[in-house]
Amino acid sequence: MAASVRLLVRQAIRLSHRNITVTAAGVSARPPCRCFSESAEERSTHFGFETVPEAEKAKRVYKVFENVAQKYDIMNDAMSLGIHRLWKDMLLHAMHPQPGARLLDVAGGTGDISFRFLEYVRSQRERQQRRAVRFGQTLSWQDISNSYSTIETDGPRESTAVVCDINKEMLKVGKEKAESLGIIAGLSWVVGDAEELPFDDDQFDIYTIAFGIRNVTHIDQALQEALRVLKPGGRFMCLEFSKVTNPLLARLYDAYSFQMIPVLGEVIAGDWKSYQYLVESIRKFPSQEEFKSMIEDAGFYCVQYYNFTGGVVALHSGFKL
């Protein structure tokens, strides 16, 4: 009895030692001393090409995005030569949301997807109204009097978008952008972790995560959460860098990624290491087929993927049925 108590006490001391070393060492230091780690408790994951304990990955990712938040959009344009706008437009086009849909944009950061979503839905609503007016011009008196009564009862459902990100800096930048673009109504900003979303079940019609899921430590947990917060019939859409299929393009892409992007990062944002992490994390992300089976395992149906730009970016889509 006494022996087991002593064992427990010793374990508790070891754990507390480990915590202290982690916080003292800071984020950019080497991983904590292996002699304190228990192989059963601690698992390691990848942070770019580096191997780090899982607990540390989230912190390091947070630091990366905290550093790049201010220059995030400029860097996106520079690195992808503006093509990222096309990718995001194609995501919206594939989504083609119906008026009244609720969007949850996880890892939405600076809000690109949500802004496009609101624009799309608003122009659709305008088009519908224009069509209704045009056809209304040949209505009989009976129909017109009927339509007066329906306008009051059937209020048009407004679409809303919720931007959720774990990083407060990114959300701050996003809010400033929204104000400068004049988009205020229908948009809300929430701090939350993709692995543990602060929302109830069956809330959203569409869940998107654009270029964010490779930064999540436990991707399957994020997929489970996505399934939980979606309504029945809801759609999960994930835009992410993926494996290039064409070997020639792959070589060019690799050269460009590893030679050019960190340099651009240093020149424009003053941060080489963050963009090195970016490029490495792209390589560590599973391929299109693997990710598709991960989504199916989480419980989504009709899972499909579409390659953009020869496989540089892939859009995965699944339904909660």
Partner 1 sequence: YCCLISSMQSGYSLPTSVVAAPTTTNPQCGSLRRGFHCAVLRLQDESKSDKPPSSTSSSTTYHEHYQAHSAEQDAAASASDPAFYKIYQDQSGEQDEEYETEEQLQARILTAALEFVPLHGWSMEAIAAGAESLGLSSASTGMFEKGSGDLVLHFIAQCNAQLTEILAEQHNQVQLGQAEPKKTADFIRDAVETRLRMYIPYIETWPQAMSLLLLPHNIPDSLKHLSTLMDDIWYYAGDRSTDMNWYTKRAALTGIYNTTELVMIQDSSPDFQDTWTFLDNRIQDVVNMATTAKQVQSTGEAVVQGLMGAAVTVSLLSYIHHLNSLFS
Residue 129, interface with partner 1 (CB under 8 A)? no
Does residue 223 belong to the site contacting partner 1 (CB under 8 A)?
no
Tell me how far, at minimum, the Cβ of 159 lies from partner 1, in Å: 10
Which of 10, 43, 93, 131 binds partner 1 (CB under 8 A)? It is 131
Assess 61 for contact with partner 1 (CB under 8 A).
no
Establish if 49 lies at the interface with partner 1 (CB under 8 A): no
Asked whether the beta carbons of 201 and 228 are under 8 A apart, the reply is yes
Q: Is 301 in the site for partner 1 (CB under 8 A)?
A: yes
Nearer to partner 1, 82 or 100 (CB): 100
Burial state string for 179-190 with b = 16 or more CB within 10 A and e = fewer than 16 = eeeebeebbebb
Which residue in 8, 93, 100, 245 binds partner 1 (CB under 8 A)? 100
How many alpha carbons lie under 13 Å from residue 248 in its C-beta half-sphere? 0
Least distance CB 98 / partner 1 (angstroms): 4
Question: Is 217 marked as a binding-site residue?
Answer: no
Counting DSSP H helices and E strands in the chain, the numbers are 12, 9
According to DSSP H, which parts of 241-287 are helical? 247-255, 261-264, 272-284
Amino acid found at 273:
K
Provide CB contacts within 8 A for 75, sequence distance 6+: 68, 264, 265, 268, 269, 275
Closest by CA to 164, choosing from 106, 237, 236, 101, is: 106
Interaction between residue 315 and partner 1 (CB under 8 A): no
Contact letters (x/-) for partner 1, 228-267, by CB under 8 A?
--xxxxxx--------------------------------
- Cβ atoms of 313 and 85 closer than 8 Å: no
Residues 196 to 215: which contact partner 1 by CB under 8 A? Answer: 205-206
Q: How many CB atoms lie within 10 A of CB 238?
A: 27
Residue 138 among known ligand-binding residues: no
Q: Minimum distance from CB of 232 to partner 1 (Å)?
A: 6
CA angle (98, 103, 109) in 5-degree steps? 140
Q: Which of 36, 62, 199, 319 binds partner 1 (CB under 8 A)?
A: 319
* Binding residue ranges for S-adenosyl-L-methionine: 110, 165, 193-194
Q: Which residues bind partner 1 (CB under 8 A)?
A: 94-98, 100-101, 128, 131, 205-206, 230-235, 301-302, 317, 319, 321
